[in-house]
Amino acid sequence: MKNRKLILDSPFYMFVKKHYCPRCSSVLRTKKVSKIVNSKSAEAKNFDFSHCGDANLYGDVLLTWYVFHCECCGLEIGRKQMKSIEKKKKQQMKDKRT
Ligand SMILES: [Zn+2]
């Protein structure tokens, strides 16, 4: 049996708040992506393998998470990346005001 995990961080941020494409300014939609990641592989450190409290998932794990997707220009962008872009935007707006 394969291990599976749905990573759903900040659902409010992902599904309720509106986000705009940094490339073409269209409204972004969310898209489900899945990938099998081995817990011992180099990229495993980018993912949270915790499961049911203290236990961790080992071996090949089918991870599913959400990314932002622009239907207009096809851009795909992760949650963390989006947050840092919006942070920069906010800072720029602040700088303009002062
Ligand atoms: Zn776009």
Q: What would the DSSP string read from start to end of 49-87?
A: -B-STT-B--SEEEEEEEEEE-TTT--EE-HHHHHHHHH
> Is this structure's pTM higher than 0.85?
no
CA of 47 to the centre of ligand 1 (A): 26
78 Cα–ligand 1 center, Å: 14
Write out pLDDT tens, residues 10-24: 999 999 999 999 999
Is the per-residue pLDDT at 95 higher than 60?
A: yes
Domain extents in the chain: 3-97
Residue 35 CA, ligand 1 centroid: distance in Å: 24
- Whole-number Å distance, alpha carbon 74 to ligand 1 midpoint, is 6
Q: How far is the CA of 20 from the centre of ligand 1 (A)?
A: 8
